[in-house]
């Protein structure tokens, strides 16, 4: 869901703040002074290469929560249920997806690239005492870089998502990758997902959210605020 600024992420990944509260309300004074545009500076950065996952491999499944009312905002904040990543991250993710097929599973994507303006929206509607749970728009989110992805597993035989020790975006200790409760089958699937995602060391898990993975080269990409509609689809010859 959220991800704090990359400096914090790389300095102490296991100490990142917990996830967004599931229910927030707009309270008086909640909207404070925030940037009017994405943060700049740093770099040099690689050129933006955002690509749409299903255009590269239509067998990957999408369950984009921010395109629905099933999120903490209570309304859709994405215009369409689409998922994008920087091309190197996308190609690495699809390699994981293909590897999992050999074991009877596929990846389901809950969230990927997020325009910076949505990160700012989350900040603006969150009461000040709850802002420890959202990414500060002055530094941006790893999702804004197109280098973070929230994923789960689905069964290739049924097409249904499989159960993990917690639901996606559940804000309890059951979401931790070290949680020892739940069933043996649920823990095995969670651990299978992590093993597959971290196999080639392209992604690393956020310890308090079994579904969230950051791409290893996240520092190489700038914060983006490109709307989904402005991201060009790759041509057939560009597909991996």
State the catalytic residues.
209
62's torsion region: left (phi>0), alpha (psi -120 to 50) or beta?
A: beta
Beta bridge partners of 107: 153
Three-class HEC string of 18-66: CCCCCCCCCCCCCCCCCCCCCCCCCCCCCCCCEEEHHHHCCCCEECCHH
Cα–Cα dist 122/2, whole Å: 9
Residues of the chain by 3-state class (helix, strand, coil), percent to 5: 30, 15, 55
Neighbours of 190 (CB within 10 A): 25
- C-alpha 124: how far from its chain's center? 20
Find the angle CA(192)-CA(59)-CA(150) to the nearest 5 degrees: 50
Find the angle CA(22)-CA(26)-CA(32) to the nearest 5 degrees: 115
């Amino acid at each position: 869901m959220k991800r704090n600024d990359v400096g914090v992420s790389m300095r102490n990944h296991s100490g990142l703040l917990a996830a967004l509260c599931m229910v927030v309300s707009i309270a008086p004074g909640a909207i404070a002074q925030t940037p009017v545009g994405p943060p700049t500076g740093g770099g040099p950065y690689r050129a933006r290469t955002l690509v749409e996952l299903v255009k590269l491999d239509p067998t990957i499944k999408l369950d984009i929560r921010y395109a629905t009312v099933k999120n903490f905002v209570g309304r859709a904040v994405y215009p369409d249920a689409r998922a994008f990543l920087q091309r190197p991250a996308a190609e690495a993710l699809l390699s994981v997806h293909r590897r999992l097929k050999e074991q009877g599973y596929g990846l389901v994507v809950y969230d990927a690239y997020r325009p910076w303006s949505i990160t700012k929206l989350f900040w603006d509607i969150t009461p000040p005492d709850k802002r420890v749970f959202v990414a500060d728009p002055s530094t941006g989110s790893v999702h804004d870089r197109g280098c973070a992805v929230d994923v789960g597993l689905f069964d290739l035989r049924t097409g249904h998502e499989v159960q993990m020790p917690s639901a996606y975006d559940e804000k309890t200790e059951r979401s931790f990758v070290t949680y020892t409760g739940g069933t043996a089958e649920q823990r095995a699937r969670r651990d299978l997902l992590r093993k597959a995602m971290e196999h080639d060391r392209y992604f690393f898990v956020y310890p308090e959210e079994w579904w969230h993975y950051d791409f290893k080269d996240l520092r190489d990409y700038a914060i983006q605020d490109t709307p989904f509609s402005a991201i060009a689809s790759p041509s057939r010859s560009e597909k991996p």
